[in-house]
Amino acid sequence: MTQIKICPGSCDTGAKMQHAAFKLDKVDCSACPIRHRAVCARCEEDELERLNAIKFYRSYKAGETIVWAGDAMDFVASVVGGVASLSQTMEDGRRQMVGLLLASDFIGRPNRNTVAYDVTAVSDVTLCCFRRKPFEEMLVDTPHISQRLLEMTLDELDAAREWMLILGRKTAREKIASFLSIIARRESATDGAEVGSDVAFDLPLTREAMADYLGLTLETVSRQMSGLKRDGVIRLEGKRRVLVPDFNLLLDETGDDADGGVLV
């Protein structure tokens, strides 16, 4: 066990950033739970050794800010466990959640010192961090990393376009079903499994946060979740656990057709 204390950005941000020491095991890359999905997915042994030399781990409690928009950030990172949110605040104080970061998602942009959004831990989060400058150097001479990062960036772009459709055109029930299907696919992909029947996962957001993320009211989210449960599309265990008996039935509720388009 080693005790690590890392300052994720410029320490003159003072009270804006809460720093704490966390005791973490040095996880071998080959045993990492996100190894097959993260930015290092295609790395050879020698490349993993180089990454291992520049990596460190940091943990955040639910509700803790990982980095504020505009702050300097001297590392990039992969989410090992937990969920973080990306949010943007307007001058008048209005705040909008614009994205979620799940296991294997990437935080930070190489060749850019600051971040554009507030990054906040929704649940307890563990990050595998890489010192930014050495990581940028590896991007130049390690095609496996740069190619994988490009793929992840394009996947994120596709997800953003899909989310524009969800927010702009779908009904409340379709929004909830789409959100649940996205989480189910991501959880299955992280586990290295295919999405099929009897899918089970924990919701990464409270219903209040889901309402904020989907542009709905809390009452509407609760009503639509109850409706999906009543119609046998999902089953609920406690406040967060969701079971999907038939994933295709859930997909039917999203408003998307079999070819990936939208039913009109």
Higher local confidence (pLDDT), 49 or 21: 49
pLDDT for the residue 68: 94
Write the CA distances from 205 to 77, 122, 214, 245, integer angstroms: 21, 7, 11, 21
Domain count, the chain: 2
pLDDT for the residue 93: 85
Question: What CATH number has the domain bearing residue 79?
Answer: 2.60.120.10
Any domain includes 258? no
Any domain includes 262? no
Given a contact cutoff of 8 angstroms between Cβ atoms, the answer to whether 262 and 255 are in contact is yes
pLDDT band at 108 (very low <50, low <70, confident <90, very high): very high
The number of helix segments (H) and strand segments (E) in the chain equals 7, 13
Given a contact cutoff of 8 angstroms between Cβ atoms, the answer to whether 86 and 96 are in contact is no
Any domain includes 154? no
Any domain includes 155? no
Question: What CATH number has the domain bearing residue 199?
Answer: 1.10.10.10
Q: Are residues 186 and 126 in the same domain?
A: no
Q: Are residues 85 and 15 in the same domain?
A: yes
Q: Are residues 190 and 80 in the same domain?
A: no
Q: What is the mean pLDDT of the chain?
A: 83
Tens-digit pLDDT profile for residues 113-160: 888 999 999 999 999 999 999 999 999 999 999 999 999 999 999 988
Q: Are residues 135 and 13 in the same domain?
A: yes
Question: Which domain covers residue 79, as residue numbers?
Answer: 2-149
Any domain includes 185? yes
